[in-house]
Structure 1
Amino acid sequence: MAPYRIRQYEDGDYEAVRTIFARGITEHAPAAYVHMLTHPQAQLLFLALFLAVLAASGSLLVSLVAVLLALTGGWFCIRALWTGYVQQSLRSDLLDIRRSYLEAANSCLWVAEAEGAVVGMVGAILPQDPSEREHALELKRMSVGREHRGQGIARALCRTVIRFAQDRGYSAVVLSTSMVQDSAQRLYESMGFRRVSERSPSRLTSFLRFSVIYYRYEIPGSR
């Protein structure tokens, strides 16, 4: 028997769901920062800064401090992107969860419960793209607490969304995830999701070489 169960969201889960989502998202900020640092364009910018300050000041120490300040600023910039996304989400669909997922048509939110505690979550909602709404549902807000990963919970939550979409006559499930969420990408691709596009949501993320990957799953046997 699985050490967890998947059930529909209840009002008493409100704080736990919001906390799991916020923690799950912000933990990816360090990976995004490392990605930025390893990109050649960022490395050239830091090198150019170092050389420019060195030429202007003639001081190796001042040049190193300037680069250190730039690195610190880059970290706060990256972290602000993630925390900003969390706050935006908590003020939108995760502000009134019942209205967003349980009262809205063809939408739902589920939690994974283990030992009486909520340890994971996932939602299904109509896609933002109007052209998709007749054919697909969007898998949204997937997150599992760090200490409960590796137990098949995320896979079970994903299957729950697919079954929900299939039962309502949809032919596909769509979702998006960031390029630094490697474990999520491996999960979705192992379940049959295919990449359909990849793009940066803003000029800043494009400059940082950060992108969002869009996936689609065609439900077998659907029209």
Structure 2
Amino acid sequence: MDTFTLTDYEVTALQLSLKVAFTAVIVSLPAGIGCAWLLARGRFWGKSLLDGLVHLPLVLPPVVIGYLLLVMMGRQGVIGAYLYDWFGITFGFSWRGAVLAVAVVAFPLMVRAIRLALENVDPKLEQAARTLGASPVKVFLTITLPLMLPGILTGTVLAFARALGEFGATITFVSNIPGETQTIPLAMFSFIETPGAEAEAARLCVIAIMIALLSLVIAEWLARAARKRVGH
């Protein structure tokens, strides 16, 4: 077989990785914007604790995150048991669980980028709009959100790239099931453990590097374009 030709097994892992990462980013983006707003503009007791919890996945071993998700969201978990009994929803050993795992790991990167962008928004612009009679919602949609756009784009793409590369939390929470939870890192792990599968592992390694590099380039390009659009 051609060294550069992907097998159906590898294509499935690639497609699942893109599906999981894309879904995780889309689902977590509203929460990311809201959390960034609270951390940048909020004044409340426990803000430091919330900040620590949001960024905890950056310093915790991914396996610990996967174990906590298993305890909390597994079919017999503290929350997962109720979700399954009441709604028939289960996260364990499914692609939905992979989405949850990578979303938790990538969430801090998204929040951090959006928060930094929000902290750079001049509050005087918002105050001027409010003095002219604009409602808080209109101020946010017409002033704040456009100025936050570079950070939102950067955070989204970085979170997507991080989600594509997640391994420890995913394999701990949803195992390594081909066609269901086996993303690119998990497929590489299987190939590395299989004698004679060095070429397959190398191909997926190259693909992972290319996607990650492309994501970083796109993030920078989108951020620059957004900054030019808002006049920064």
Structure with greater helix share of residues: 2
Structure (1 or 2) with the greater strand fraction: 1
TM over 0.5: no
How does the TM-score come out when normalised to structure 1? 0.31
